[in-house]
Amino acid sequence: MKTPKSTIKPADFASLYEGFNAPVSRFDCGRKCAPLNDGEPVCCSTQNAVPVVHKVEFDLLKTRTDLWSKFKPYDYATKQIVAELTSDCMAIHCKGARHCERDNRTIACRGFPFYPYITRERQFVGVGTYWVFEDRCWMMSNLEIVDAKFVSEFVATYEALFVKDASEFATYVDFSASARRVYSRWKREIPLLGRDGELLIVAPSSGEIRPGRKKDFPKAKPFTSEKEYREAVKEAGGEVPKEGLRPS
């Protein structure tokens, strides 16, 4: 079946921005991962994650700020990322966390490290995590502290986006299928946050979903213990936040 043509416009992204401002949690999680990533949160550096946006979204951003510019690939991996983008998307680059303008963050920035999880039956049932960052993103090992308001705004934003751009929905149908294949190969269950912020577990082979408990969500190294975290920070040449985590 042919995917309907996108009808999304820059003004639509402006509206989406207005409805998606909730922080992931009341804690400034970037302070926890930054010492492991040359002093910047993992989500704020193209050395870790390359932001991908709809070209129409970039059209909006250019009218609001000079924070963003077109991303220039710097190695084989980033060249592959750009080469595999669909024709309506592009990779962009920001000036970095120290120059962040919260009102001008992209949808991808606001939602990191999460993506909309779609079942085999094409139902948007919850929020999954970009597993490739689990060794660098502290939040992915602490899903129980994600605020329900963030999840609610995330879900509403992507539902509105899917209405305007069916190709976005198709992208996450495929990505969720990839998640099931990866976790099945790893012989691991898929962690999710349900639409109301509840913990869920997906059996990747069958796709069945059940309620999750905190113990079902093992922490990834180096976040398995404070000792391991401190050792990893030392090895990375960083500095452990002296005050710990504070509400953002």
Cβ-proximal residues to 217 (8 Å cutoff; 6+ apart), any chain: 141, 143, 144, 191, 199
Residue 93 scores a pLDDT above 60? yes
CA distance 53 to 220: 28
- Rounded Cα distance between 115 and 100, Å, is 22
2 lies in a domain?
Answer: no
Count of the separate structural domains present in the chain: 1
Model pLDDT, residue 170: 94
Residue 247 has pLDDT above 90, yes or no: no
Confidence of residue 248 (pLDDT cuts 50, 70, 90): very low
Contact 92, 68 (CB under 8 A): yes
Residue 135 has pLDDT above 90, yes or no: yes
d(CA 16, CA 163): 12
Print burial letters for 144-154: b (CB count within 10 Å at least 16), e (below 16). Answer: eebeeebbbbb
User: Is 1 inside a domain boundary?
Assistant: no
The pLDDT confidence band at residue 243, using thresholds 50, 70 and 90, is low
Within-domain flag for 167: yes
The model's pTM is 0.91
Whole-number pLDDT of residue 38: 87
* In contact, 79 and 50? CB cutoff 8 Å: no
In a domain, 56, yes or no: yes
Region 121-149 average pLDDT: 95
Asked if residue 174 belongs to a domain, the reply is yes
- Residue 48: pLDDT over 90: no
Specify the pLDDT at position 185: 97
Structural domain includes residue 28 = yes
Q: How far is CA 156 from CA 14, 105, 221, in A?
A: 14, 17, 32
Closest alpha carbon to 180 in 112, 125, 140, 109: 125
Residue 139 lies in a domain: yes
Mean pLDDT of 82-108: 91
In sequence order, the β-bridge partners of residue 68 are 94
pLDDT-derived band at 118 (thresholds 50, 70, 90) equals very high
* Domain-embedded: residue 126: yes
For residues 13-23, average pLDDT: 96
Question: Vertex 228, ends 223 and 230: CA angle to 5°?
Answer: 95
Q: Look at the block and give the residue holding tokens 């992915």.
A: 140
Residue 28's pLDDT is: 87
Which domain covers residue 67, as residue numbers? 10-236
Determine the 3-state secondary structure of 128 from DSSP: strand
**Average pLDDT estimate for 57-78:** 94
